Every structure is written in C-alpha cells, then in structure tokens.
Amino acid sequence: MSDRQHSRPRWHYAPRSSWMNDPNGLIHYAGTWHAFYQCNPSETVWGNMSWGHATSPDLLHWTEHPVALWHTATEQVYSGSCVFDATNSSGLGSTDWPPLVAIYTAHYLPGSARQGTEAQWLAYSLDGGSHWTPYPGNPVLDRGSANFRDPKVFRHGDEWVMVAVEAEDQQVLIHTSPDLVHWRYRSSFGPAHAAAGAWECPDLFELPVDNDEGSKWVLLVNLNPGAVAGGSGCQYFVGDFDGVTFTPDAVVGVSTDRSLGLDDPLLRAYDWFDFGRDCYAVTSFADVPDQRRIVLGWMNNWDYAHHIPLTGGRSMMTVPRELGLVRLADRYLLRQRPVRELPASALLHHTLADGDHVPLHGVALEYHNGVLSLDRRGVGRGDFHEGFGTRQWAEIPERPSSVTVEVLIDTCSIEVFAAAGLVTISDLVFF
C-alpha cells in the first residue's frame, strides 16, 4: 500500500484526510452547491461507509463539513441521492419548512436481521443539509436482495421516480412514489451493452437537444469492471421516458464476456461517457437553476483505487461538467464541458491534425486516423500499481482530419474534452 503524498488538486474536490468514492446526493439548495460522497471517516481505504459532505458557492471552491450520515454497527451507508421535498410530500418536514430528503442504500452487516442484503433508506434534514435524522420507518424499499442499491430520485410530474440497480443482474429498476415513503415497482431496463461487471449508480434525466430539436432522456449506467478503458467506467443510453419505462433509441447487443479486450469492436460500439481510466459513479445535481445539467464523477478506478497517492485524503472528484445533447446523422451523443464557472484561463486549447503529438508534462496526446489517445505510461509517479500505466483512446465521430481539444491539467489529473465535448478522456496523472 502506497502512502505517498501528493499536492492537493486546485480545481477538483478532494477530502482533507478521509477516503472518498462515489459522489452522492448532489443538490443545489438555497444558493449553495452540496456534494455528499462515500466516505470512510477514519481511514484512507474503503470501509465504514458514511456520507461525507462539502459545500461550494461556485462548484470550484469547496468547504468540507462534518460527516452527514454515519455508518452504524449494523448498517453501512452506501450511495444515493438527495431531493428537496418542496411540498412536504413525505411529511418529514412541514409545508412551511419542507425537508431535504436523502434516499440511500443501507448495506446490512452481521448483527442485523437483514445481514447480507441491501435496501433503501431515507434520512431528512431541516437545517439545509447539516444535520440528518434517519426516518424511523426504514427501510422504505426492500426486495430482500443482496445487490439492490444506489437510488437516484427525481421529480416527474406529480410523482417521485427512483432509478436503482440490481447490480449483479445488470438491471436498472424504476419505482415511483407519491411521497418518497411508499414505492411501487414499474419497470426494469437491462442487461444491455456493456454488462460484464456490476451495474452501479444509475441516473436518468431529460436533456434538450442542441438547436431546438426537442429533448431526449439519458440513462447513465456506471459499470465495474468491464468499462471501455478497463475497470470502472460509465456508459449511457439515449431514449425516451414516459414516467414508467425507459425506452432506448437503439441497443446494439450486450457483452457479458469479462475477457473482452479493450480494443473489442463490440465494446467500442457502445456509448461511453468518458474514455479515460478515471471517471466513475457519474451522477448529476438536483435542482440546478436554468435547467443546467451538471455532473460529478469519482476520479478514480476500482482497479487501483486503494493504491493511488494521498492528496491529504485519498481520491478526488472530476471537474464539474455541464452536459448537452447533440444530434448526429444517426444518433444522439452527449457533449460535456467543464462548468462555465471554471476560469477560461484554466484550459489549454490545441488543434491536432492527423499524426500530431502534443506532449503535456510527459503525457502524450496523439491524433491518428481519427483516433485520439492519451498515453500516461511511464509518466511521473505512476509506478504504484501495475494497472496504472496505460494508454487510453477514443474514436472521434466521423474521424475528421483534425480535432480541437480543451485540456484541464491539475496537480494530479488531466481531462481532455475533444470535438466540442463529444469525446472526453479523463485520467489521473501524478506528474
């Protein structure tokens, strides 16, 4: 185990001294951005799972707060989401003082009558997210399953909708509720596309299509292992949602073969949120003003997550990204950019023609035959794990003769936004 220290990142949230994995319960509330996250309060490895908490006025400068939701002797607090229950539908606040409600997975430990299973719990806050009280009637949704987790809840019409996974069945389950307490099963989606690993941390949201071409729904499905760059990653599906069922525009098969190489054409035919090694558990903020859809990912990979150098604690988030949707000839593609709050001067701009090679602190960014690659082999202090020194690549849609890129380099990471954000490659690099 490496306990090397590295400087703290400037533009990325990183906890001071704890272990962090997935972003949880992202919400914009009363003018403040709240990020909760999977946290081990007492060690720099996974365990004792609780919700850490940080807030920011601008998505870039974060203040770390005390742990929001603590693990207990019999339950770990796994991933989930937060909503502002403006009408007090849950009854957990009052009409005058509506609650913030966290919906998360309790992973039951030995000593619990439910040992070995996972179910969905609520907690509520009446002080804007600082203090949380578990709902006395927990769990609110229990299938008796060992791998039913990661609820993401959003408002749709008069109902609450929850997407959550049956992780080992590679399925996203959709439930609806009038009050966050009583849930009704409505439909499921999957397995589809990349399904060699567990499906985790789903998200479902509507996005306007550029140029006023209506809107579509996007389902994010994080997957570990079996992602396009190896290990953990995020794939997505574009389609429609009628409040009950998600219907993808097209599915082009399913691959469950764990031995598939990273160059396998089947994996490459799917839509990937990011083609780098370090962008997992991607999830979006609730209640963002101006209909913006903003996400954070965990900038790490379960392949080597426990071995990366410390930056105070262990792990950081991706830069916050704003999403859009572009219509191409035969399909829709997500596009993403760092949020506009990031000063323009933080980004490098390059245009790469065929055969070009841009050295970035020893990392090689290359464009050849319509393929953009990022090579961190042998760079800096990457020798802490044999799985770390790899080269990541992505085909640029329509393989143009040149490609423009925006690059964000922080003290231990590089994020490449190529072709107006249609392709991103995000990698940790301990320069």
Among 79, 176, 283, 315, binds ligand FRU (CB under 6 A): 79
- DSSP state, residue 268: H
DSSP 152-182: EEEEETTEEEEEEEEGGGTEEEEEEESSSSS
Residue 152 binds to ligand FRU (criterion: CB under 6 A) = no
Residue 40 binds to ligand FRU (criterion: CB under 6 A) = no
Which is closer to ligand FRU, CB of 21 or CB of 120?
Answer: 21
214 burial class (0-12, 13-18, 19+ CB within 10 angstroms)?
Answer: exposed
- How distant is the alpha carbon of residue 165 from its chain centre? 14
Residue 410 binds to ligand FRU (criterion: CB under 6 A) = no
Among 11, 23, 25, 38, binds ligand FRU (CB under 6 A): 38
Which is closer to ligand FRU, CB of 149 or CB of 152?
Answer: 149
379, amino acid identity: V
DSSP 36-60: EEEEETT-SSS-S-EEEEEEESSSS
Q: Are 152 and 163 in contact (CB under 8 A)?
A: yes
How far apart are alpha carbons 153 and 162 in whole angstroms? 4
- Smallest distance from the beta carbon of 119 to ligand FRU, in angstroms? 12
Residue 299 binds to ligand FRU (criterion: CB under 6 A) = no
Which is closer to ligand FRU, CB of 103 or CB of 201?
Answer: 201
- Smallest distance from the beta carbon of 77 to ligand FRU, in angstroms? 9
Terminal alpha carbon distance of the chain = 19
Which is closer to ligand FRU, CB of 90 or CB of 232?
Answer: 232
Residue 166 binds to ligand FRU (criterion: CB under 6 A) = no
Task: Mark residues 232-271: x for contact with ligand FRU by CB under 6 A, - for none.
Answer: ----------------------------------------
Length of the chain: 431
The count of residues interacting with ligand FRU (CB under 6 A) is 12
Residue 78 binds to ligand FRU (criterion: CB under 6 A) = yes
- Smallest distance from the beta carbon of 263 to ligand FRU, in angstroms? 25
CB under 8 Å to 31, separation ≥6 — which residues? 57
Residues 182-211 that bind ligand FRU (CB under 6 A): 200-201
Cis, peptide link before residue 9, omega less than 30° from 0: no
Q: Are 69 and 123 in contact (CB under 8 A)?
A: yes
Q: Are 147 and 135 in contact (CB under 8 A)?
A: no
Which is closer to ligand FRU, CB of 80 or CB of 93?
Answer: 80
Which is closer to ligand FRU, CB of 101 or CB of 405?
Answer: 101
Among 11, 22, 183, 430, binds ligand FRU (CB under 6 A): 22
Among 49, 101, 196, 234, binds ligand FRU (CB under 6 A): 49
How far apart are alpha carbons 248 and 273 in whole angstroms? 16
Cis, peptide link before residue 191, omega less than 30° from 0: yes
DSSP 217-244: EEEEEEEES--TTSSSEEEEEEEEE-SS
Is position 58 annotated as part of the catalytic site? no
11: left (phi over 0), alpha (psi -120 to 50) or beta: alpha
Residue tagged active-site, from 3, 22, 158, 278: 22
- Smallest distance from the beta carbon of 392 to ligand FRU, in angstroms? 20
- Smallest distance from the beta carbon of 41 to ligand FRU, in angstroms? 13
- Smallest distance from the beta carbon of 424 to ligand FRU, in angstroms? 19
> Could you tell me the CA-to-CA distances from 27 to 102, 128, 300, 352, 397 in Å, in that order?
10, 11, 22, 37, 33
Among 149, 175, 193, 277, binds ligand FRU (CB under 6 A): 149
- Smallest distance from the beta carbon of 305 to ligand FRU, in angstroms? 9
> Could you tell me the CA-to-CA distances from 82 to 40, 103, 148, 182 in Å, in that order?
20, 6, 18, 17
Which is closer to ligand FRU, CB of 27 or CB of 360?
Answer: 27
Among 18, 21, 81, 315, binds ligand FRU (CB under 6 A): 21
Task: Mark residues 97-136: x for contact with ligand FRU by CB under 6 A, - for none.
Answer: --------x-------------------------------
- Smallest distance from the beta carbon of 60 to ligand FRU, in angstroms? 24
- What amino acid positions are annotated as catalytic residues? 22
Enumerate binding residues for ligand FRU (CB under 6 A).
21-22, 38, 49, 78-79, 105, 149-150, 200-201, 281
